[in-house]
Structure 1
């Protein structure tokens, strides 16, 4: 009886630590997103962005990617569903067809030091954020 109570207590402690870690990661992601967006204003979402108009992705969390601008517009992509393994410092392997990345285009995630990419994930709509004039 005592052993099962001890195992249950250890399990609950693990859940608490895990939920605290997830809350910390979510808070960090929100801070990074707020910092990147700054005082920019959101525009109407679009289906595609040009590959050449961006300096590459900044991964915020498992469902938010920012494409940093070469010009004035920063692009935010909110995935339709979370992408397992997508987190800061992972590499995106994007299937580009033509000169644009579009909603529903597929990509995979590669962890640092790994050679096996994740399952496929899909982009959502791209929301432009521009600096207030």
Structure 2
């Protein structure tokens, strides 16, 4: 009987891991779908350190390490963070420290969850990769 009682928590823990890994896989698939929808048939260019803040209508958060700035023109800018940013997910708010008129690699930002007033720890942007429609 004692072995049966010990086996129950282990089985529950494994079930929790399975549910968690299924949820992570589902979130990753959704992020890839969102990214594909934004980039469409655009082609990647050479990554850059900075982009103009005025050339975009703001960020779209894809997942905890990918942010896309949609164009006012024809270029979509993808930023792959150097490390994942805890709490960064769609529908969170970015609090970005902008110095001048450009947003650059290693500029810092924080994440604010909906309904919260306490932002996350600092995260940093990576390089910005331009995606443009093929000519």
- Which category of TM-score, normalised to the shorter sequence, fits these structures? over 0.9
Partner of 2:81: 79
Equivalent in 101, 109, 112 of residue 110 of structure 1? 112
Post-superposition CA distance 1:72-108 (Å, at most 9, x none) = 1100000000000000000000000000100000000
User: Aligned residue pairs: how many?
Assistant: 133
Give me the whole-angstrom Cα distance separating, in 2, the residues matched to 1:3 and 1:55: 57
Partner of 1:39: 41
Give the aligned CA root-mean-square deviation in angstroms.
0.5
The unaligned stretches of length 5 or more in structure 2 are none
List 4+ stretches of structure 1 deviating above 2 A: none
Deviation at 1:132, TM superposition (A): 1.1
Post-superposition CA distance 1:10-65 (Å, at most 9, x none) = 00000000000000000000000011100001000000000000000000000000
Q: How does the TM-score come out when normalised to structure 1? A: 0.99
The unaligned stretches of length 5 or more in structure 1 are none
Give me the whole-angstrom Cα distance separating, in 1, the residues matched to 2:41 and 2:67: 18
Q: How does the TM-score come out when normalised to structure 2? A: 0.97
Give me the whole-angstrom Cα distance separating, in 2, the residues matched to 1:97 and 1:71: 23
Deviation at 1:110, TM superposition (A): 0.3
Deviation at 1:4, TM superposition (A): 1.6
